[in-house]
Structure 1
Amino acid sequence: MIRSAPIALLAAVAAPMPAGAQQADLASVQRFLQSVTTMTADFSQADRNGRVLTGTLSWKQPGKIRFQYQKDVPLLIVAEGGALTFVDYSVRQVQRWPIRNSPLGVLLDPRRDLAQFARVVPGGDPRLVSVEARDPKHPEYGRITLVFARDAGGPAGLTLQGWVALDSQNNRTTVKLSNQRYGGTIADNAFKWVDPRRTVGRR
């Protein structure tokens, strides 16, 4: 199944939504996260300096995601085994931290109750649902705003368009998705990676 919609990630701020509508949208996002088994997509990633990188995304519930960057970018981000790993092959550096300490944790643990740490963000485009998630007890984990398009053919009537993440230093990263495909087969070894500290080369 392929889902893609050319909609801007962040819409203009609108009047507050009725509480009932917010709860319904948040419940739809919860069902989306619980019903997705796999997703692949193309992505473009922009930082606050305007640098744009592209690549492919593979996501498998629960707890696995891989950002494979374009060939000339020696970076890799992989989540598996409860850890999020950032690999920079150009300097043979690896950084790992618990998934739960990352804004991406909201995508990777569908058992979590969104009502405990997320809220619907009102927007000016009725075609979109935006949900901001953050841990109020741990502001150092940063926050993420997931953006969905309403799509009757998508999981729970939605398709994930991308997100905007802010870390504890307010560094902003915007990820936009296209060519989303749900429900395909992704082997678990797709989330393995080569440790550059032990060998030369990259996966």
Structure 2
Amino acid sequence: MPLRGALPNWDTKKISIKSPPGPREVYWIGTFVDSLEPEFTGYHQGVIISGAKTLNDATECVVFVPVTSVEPAKGPRGNLPPYIHKLSSNPSPGDTRGSWAICNHVMTVRLSRLERFYSSDGIDKRLITPKVSHADFEAILDCIANGMVVIRNRFKSLESAALAKQQEAHTAEIEKLKAEQAVAIDRAVEEVLDELTRPSAA
């Protein structure tokens, strides 16, 4: 049962998709002929991270992370590395094996390297474009940051700076309210004292 495009006449130099790829979509992607391990080689599923606006293959590229059905090696504590995400389901129609997004391999390719999947029955040769879930996509973005420490540190730095600025503004607002309240209390006390000490009418 065919689970991918891989049409006999497929050529990675000629575009075969019918619409501009978008984030979360999954394609079969032909990687570079001269790729060497541990680079990804051959023909792999890939989750689109940054899509294209048009089908102009001369100018458009997409950014993706590869997906594999071969379970990655776990660390000494039995956990996957923080840059690998196990998808909630295999995006390949009809394939029930586990699949993992390898998020420290962020790659850029032209549109002609993308090919769609066959539908799960594989009978009518209908080509489709599956998507990963929103939760899986958000987890992939987090894993990309984990795989690129400089990006993760940049995010943390921006987050800390934004929090410090927010706390500073909050403190300034509290001090302003306290000052306004003190002025209002002083004014009220003066009005009461003025009323109490005002000479009574003869």
Same fold (TM over 0.5): no
* Higher strand content, 1 or 2: 1
* Higher helix content, 1 or 2: 2
Relative contact order (C-alpha < 8 Å, sep 6+): which is higher?
1
TM-score relative to the length of structure 2:
0.22
TM-score relative to the length of structure 1:
0.22
